[in-house]
Amino acid sequence: MKIVLSGIQPTNMITIGNYLGALRNIINFQKDNKLMIFIADLHAITKDFNPKELQQNKKSIAALYMACGLNPYDNIIFYQSDVIEHSHLSYLLLCHTYMGELNRMTQFKDKSSKMAMANGTQNIPTGLFVYPTLMAADILLYDADIVPVGKDQTQHMELTRDIAIRFNKKYKEDIFKVPNIYVAEKGAKIMDLQNPDIKMSKSNENTKGTIFLLEPIDNIRKKIMSAKTDSFDNVKYDQTNQPGVSNLIIIYSCLSNKSINDIELLYKNKKYGDFKKDLADIVCNHIKELQDKYYEIIKNVDFDKQLQKNAQICQKIAAKKIDKIHKILGLKVGN
Ligand code: TYM
């Protein structure tokens, strides 16, 4: 069985981008693989955060995973910070990562520039800078075979692979498995509904462009109906000239199993209004079903203990790996 591993940060609330780009694809791996899915809480403290909200978001994301069909009794769902080996391996990897590599990370550039603008200073937490090595540690600790992520994480994944290869070469041993990246063909980069030139994100300033999985269904409908399109009034997939409507077509296609071509044909002589109305129905029905399951779980299922048990399983695997690395690095004296 292959190990399929992925994580989501509990920052704000999950968006339809997270769902279509990552979450939904993870579920599809459930049948024939061993899933290791975690709530990346250590990543969430690399920028400004509120401890109370963090705690709530963690539980909420765990329940959302379950609402999407991931069963914590059959799969290993856990909170990252419950397995302290993640941070320890991150340090060991940092000592094998170059400043230049981290400096090139576009997510760091983007997030740090926004932070600098917001607080008017250059006080960027070092944790944000070294965040990619924590992500590498999350993956390499468990010898993951496949890591399903959205497009925005591919640079971090390339770095993870580079670090693993470098480590193995330097110490002349297959210490780490070099993971494969899985990026979905469709939905790997859902764009903002108001500004289709930027990625839809939990933290975009104008929340009108972001669909949150747990927001009221009426809001979602309004956001879709007022999504920015263009003046062509032609439902056509053309990312360069019609980025707004192309983004909506992708969302439609992901949730309806219709191809882009089918959708273009279906709306050939129709207006954007008709298309958006149908899309709103599809998205709202899908999310409503998810929300119903989510509220049922968050109210009635006591999953804390199971997540702790899962973390203990991970901790055992992780401790063995760290022990092996300590030996190789000469950090361990004795047996
Ligand atoms: P995060 O929490 O920002 O996002 C979670 C997942 O959602 C994907 N995603 C998107 N996909 C399509 N369209 C979008 N607009 C969109 N926005 C986000 C992300 O690519 C991601 O797959 N560093 C990671 C979390 C992480 C992780 C890991 C993932 C930590 N350690 C190890 C995999 C393996 C992050 O911040 O994702």
Known catalytic residues are 111, 199, 202
- pLDDT score, position 71: 85
CA gap 311, 299 in Å, rounded? 22
Alpha carbons within 13 angstroms on the beta-carbon side of residue 183 total: 13
- CA-nearest residue, atom 34 of ligand 1: 6
Does ligand 1 lie within 6 Å of residue 192's CB atom?
no
47 close to ligand 1 (CB < 6 Angstrom) = no
Tens place of pLDDT per residue across the chain (335 aa): 999 999 999 987 899 999 999 999 998 898 889 999 999 999 999 988 999 999 999 999 999 999 999 988 889 999 999 999 999 999 999 999 999 999 999 999 998 988 866 666 678 899 999 999 999 999 999 999 999 999 999 999 999 999 999 999 999 999 999 999 999 999 999 999 999 999 999 877 789 999 999 999 999 999 999 999 999 999 999 999 999 999 999 999 999 989 999 999 999 999 999 999 999 999 999 999 999 999 999 998 899 999 999 999 999 999 999 999 999 999 999 87
Q: What is the pLDDT of residue 73?
A: 84
Ranges of each domain in the chain: 2-188+301-329, 207-294
d(CA 148, CA 5): 7
CATH fold group of domain 207-294: Tyrosyl-Transfer RNA Synthetase (1.10.240)
Sheet holding 146-148, edge to edge: 76-79, 33-39, 2-8, 146-148, 180-182
- Kindly state if the Cβ of 6 falls inside 6 Å of ligand 1: yes
Q: How far is CA 245 from CA 28, 128, 151, 256, 267, in A?
A: 27, 34, 20, 16, 12
Run of H or E including 299? helix 272-300
Where does 2-188+301-329 sit in CATH, by number?
Answer: 3.40.50.620
pLDDT of residue 47: 87
Residue 200 near residue 209 (C-beta atoms within 8 A):
yes
Q: How many angstroms does the Cα of residue 277 sit away from the middle of ligand 1?
A: 29
**C-alpha closest to that of 159 among 129, 132, 189, 126:** 132
